[in-house]
Amino acid sequence: MIDDWSEFGLDTRAVRAGQVRTAEGEHSEALFLTSSFVFDSAAEAAARFSGQIEGNVYSRFTNPTVRTFEKRLAALEGGERCIATSSGMAAILTTCLGLLKTGDHILASRSIFGSSVTLFDKILSRFGIQTTFVELNDRAAWETAFTPQTRLCFLETPSNPLTEIVDLRQMADLVHAHNALLVVDNCFCSPALQQPLKWGADIVIHSATKYLDGQGRCLGGAIVGAESLLGGDIYSVLRSSGASLSPFNAWVFLKGLETLTLRMKAHSANGLALAQWLETQPSVNKVYYPGLASHPQHELAKRQQSGFGGLVSFEVKGGREVAWRIIDNTRLISITANLGDTKTTITHPASTTHGRISPVQREAANITEGLLRVSVGLEDITDIQTDLARGLGKTT
């Protein structure tokens, strides 16, 4: 059995890492759909419970299928340890409960997932953990927002929906100079395109629900980082709070990971083709995609990422009326805020994901009424273009 996957390429790790065959000799990963495990004797039960000998006790603590998923994702991210969770939000909550206490301070990018904002701003604040939100690329704002209580910095790159990129190496240096930890939600790139730990991040968060599954089936999440950081309080919170990943979902994600690198290349190719085509459309004001030379951080994206991913946003002339017309004229593309699926999805951020923010704040953040976000799937790119062209008022 191979323990150290660092010598192997990413494609190989995605297909192979973490698998432990049982005596049955199964080729595909076994699904251990069991909540508990049995012992040979009372003495063995006692020893496993006390941790004297290693072994499975109960699937809230450990499960072989979940462990295989954890090992494979850790190998892909280049992390020592991975802890799987029941959702992406459970991964963020478990990380915060493991690392923070009352009085601690979080510094977070303003451009993060809506539920992450709610968790920090409305829920953790009730326990005396305050969060300051800053612009992702305003370095001076990050510098001045640190307090002696700042323990954790949290960001996503590329950001959603405007695909802003931040220099992870510079960010890690800044955060470490303030004795804090850098936590990066790597949902949009997945380890196939970006490995934040390599640039100095301390912890990587995943919503496995998105590209890791990649086919819109299961909810799950993960925390990846050093054993010294994850193995203590973070794992202890997971064991005792119960946000553990279901073995069935872990098995689905394992199958998802096997095609992850392949899918991300295809998502990136379709994303670039769509972004380039949108730039030629007269009714499009602006296209946000890190793979375009017109993207302000295109050079950084090329350095930091090995591909540009499947998220493309664009602003149409004519505001909400035209944006909604484009959505309502699609026949193929799914109207949903979900992303990271083989099926292309479209959403109007100003009236959905960012609908609760005040109009003034929204405009200030460039989430305009004419903005649309597409999570480009794996259909033929010409069919995706035709579907959007109908509402754009122009044929391909």
Interface ranges with ligand PLP (CB under 6 A): 87-89, 113, 115-116, 156, 185, 187, 207, 209-210, 219, 221
Tokens of 146: 């640190």
Q: How far is the CB of 102 from ligand PLP (least distance, A)?
A: 24
Rg for the chain, CA atoms, rounded: 22
Nearest residue to the partner ligand PLP, using Cβ: 88
DSSP string for residues in 334-368: EE-S--SSSS-EEE-GGGTTTTTS-HHHHHHTT--
Tokens of 143: 């510098």
User: Which DSSP state fits 212?
Assistant: T
> Based on CB atoms, which residue is closest to ligand PLP, 210 or 267?
210
Q: How far is the CB of 339 from ligand PLP (least distance, A)?
A: 6
Query: What strands, in cross-sheet order, belong to the sheet with 81-85?
Result: 81-85, 221-225, 203-207, 181-185, 150-156, 105-109, 130-134
> Based on CB atoms, which residue is closest to ligand PLP, 264 or 316?
264
Q: How far is the CB of 209 from ligand PLP (least distance, A)?
A: 4
Q: How far is the CB of 188 from ligand PLP (least distance, A)?
A: 6
Q: How far is the CB of 50 from ligand PLP (least distance, A)?
A: 34
> Based on CB atoms, which residue is closest to ligand PLP, 87 or 345?
87
Instruction: Quote the Cα angle for 143-148-153, to 5°.
Output: 55
> Based on CB atoms, which residue is closest to ligand PLP, 5 or 113?
113
Q: How far is the CB of 221 from ligand PLP (least distance, A)?
A: 5
Q: How far is the CB of 79 from ligand PLP (least distance, A)?
A: 18
> What whole-number distance in Å separates Cα of residue 203 and Cα of residue 187?
13
> Based on CB atoms, which residue is closest to ligand PLP, 59 or 87?
87
Q: How far is the CB of 87 from ligand PLP (least distance, A)?
A: 3
| Residues belonging to the chain | 396
> Based on CB atoms, which residue is closest to ligand PLP, 137 or 281?
137
> Based on CB atoms, which residue is closest to ligand PLP, 256 or 391?
256
> Based on CB atoms, which residue is closest to ligand PLP, 221 or 391?
221
Cβ 339 vs Cβ 210: under 8 Å: yes
- 374 to 265, 272, 311, 312, 348: CA distances (angstroms): 17, 12, 6, 5, 9
> Based on CB atoms, which residue is closest to ligand PLP, 115 or 306?
115
Torsion of CA 166, 170, 176, 182, to 10 degrees: 20
Cβ 302 vs Cβ 268: under 8 Å: no
User: Which DSSP state fits 30?
Assistant: P
> Based on CB atoms, which residue is closest to ligand PLP, 65 or 375?
375
HSE (side-chain half, CA atoms, 13 Å) at 222? 35
> What whole-number distance in Å separates Cα of residue 329 and Cα of residue 387?
7
Torsion of CA 307, 310, 315, 317, to 10 degrees: 110
Q: How far is the CB of 113 from ligand PLP (least distance, A)?
A: 4
Q: How far is the CB of 208 from ligand PLP (least distance, A)?
A: 7
Alpha helix stretches (DSSP H) within 114-189: 114-118, 139-145, 168-177
